[in-house]
Amino acid sequence: MWLYAARRIVLTIPILLGVTIICFALVQIAPGDPIQNLLSPTSSAADAARLRAAYGLDQPLPIQYFIWLGRVLVGNLGTSIANNMPVAGEVMHAFSNTVVIALISVALAFVLSMFFGVIAACRSGQLADKLITAVAVFGISVPPFWLAVTLVIVFAVNLSLLPATGMGANGSGNFSYFQWTSLKFAVMPITALALPPLGIMTRTTRSAIAEILNQDFIQTLRAKGLSEASVVVHAIRNIMPQAIAMLGLQLGYLIGGSVLVETVFTWPGTGYLLNKAVQTRDIPLLQGTILVLATAFVLINLFVDLMQSLIDPRIKRS
């Protein structure tokens, strides 16, 4: 087990290096010159060259990469071009805002999807199955940003129950997930984020459980006198490796891909930050954000792999 874990961890290092190369390259490939955006139309070519040198943009690309990588390794992601703030602080701040709603959404979606998926599989073809399937398909098909806007119209505008946008009066400074005055700002973003993964994971759980229930060993379990509930426990444990893989994937998507939902709710998370960085062509900020998100994705996958091998002894063999 430990050997497998160690090997798996070592293997992530080249992946992470690859991530940094792609992050670095993506920005180089992107069209547009950030220096031009900073200069006033009247400034001279010499001004441009001076600024270019100040940001290190006059060096050859490999040198730029290694300089950048060296800084990244000590936690320096550069300075934002737009507002001269350190990128690292800004990204980590946004990241923590996103991670919390993403974690809550995925945890919620995971628990509910397990519950509904198992019921649907055990009541296959019956009313409960059909209802759950209908809701799941709705969750998969509804675009999250549309859902977000609809939630705002219903709960913020018409019913005035929940605040429409933001993280509260003092922003994320003294936001607490344990106080309703703060938490109410997170309710709608979490709902909008949780619904699509809930739909997908419910469908996956349902089909995975149904598949396991058709396997031979389930009959052995029944033949040895286990109650239907205990049989289902065996089935749930058997789909866990698959369910955790799904969970990791969805968490990865939510951490990086919630641009639309965060923009609708002006939730100051990574999605919102990415949007801002792209629009202002703030390359260090964009690079830093993508790097942090990609690293998070790789680490989530590592975690998923380790969890899977912990549950399914057959995985370690390969």
Span interacting with other proteins, options 104-112, 131-139, 179-187, 221-229, rule CB under 8 A: 221-229
Binding string to other proteins for residues 298 to 317, with x set by CB under 8 A, is what?
-------------xxxx--x
Between residues 211 and 312, which has the closer beta carbon with respect to other proteins?
Answer: 312
225: left (phi over 0), alpha (psi -120 to 50) or beta: left
- Nearest by Cα to 165 from 271, 265, 269: 265
Assess 1 for contact with other proteins (CB under 8 A). no
CB of 201 vs other proteins, minimal distance in Å: 20
Assess 221 for contact with other proteins (CB under 8 A). yes
Q: Taking the C-alpha atoms of 84, 85, 87 and 88 in order, what is their torsion angle to the nearest 10 degrees?
A: 150
Task: Tell me the one-letter amino acid at 253.
Answer: Y
Binding string to other proteins for residues 190 to 219, with x set by CB under 8 A, is what?
-------------------------xxx-x
Q: Quick one: tokens of 32? A: 């547009």
Q: Which of 162, 234, 278, 295 binds other proteins (CB under 8 A)?
A: 234
CB of 124 vs other proteins, minimal distance in Å: 10
Angle between helices 127-141 and 180-213 (to 10 degrees): 120
**CA 205 to chain CA centroid, nearest Å:** 20
**CA 192 to chain CA centroid, nearest Å:** 14
Residues 6+ apart with CB under 8 A from 47: 39
CB of 223 vs other proteins, minimal distance in Å: 4
CA 11 to each of CA 92, 168, 306: distance values in angstroms, whole numbers, following the listed order: 25, 42, 13
Between residues 181 and 230, which has the closer beta carbon with respect to other proteins?
Answer: 230
Assess 226 for contact with other proteins (CB under 8 A). yes
Span interacting with other proteins, options 96-104, 129-137, 234-242, 295-303, rule CB under 8 A: 234-242
Binding residues for other proteins restricted to 56-85, rule: CB under 8 A: none
Assess 7 for contact with other proteins (CB under 8 A). no
Assess 127 for contact with other proteins (CB under 8 A). no
CB of 230 vs other proteins, minimal distance in Å: 8
Query: Is the separation of the CB atoms in 315 and 241 below 8 Å?
Result: yes
SS3 label, residue 86 = strand
CB-based burial, 263-272: b 16+ in 10 Å, e otherwise: bbbebbbbbb
CB of 222 vs other proteins, minimal distance in Å: 6
Between residues 159 and 223, which has the closer beta carbon with respect to other proteins?
Answer: 223
Between residues 47 and 312, which has the closer beta carbon with respect to other proteins?
Answer: 312
Query: Is the separation of the CB atoms in 252 and 300 below 8 Å?
Result: yes
Q: Which residues bind other proteins (CB under 8 A)?
A: 215-217, 219-227, 230, 234, 237-238, 311-314, 317
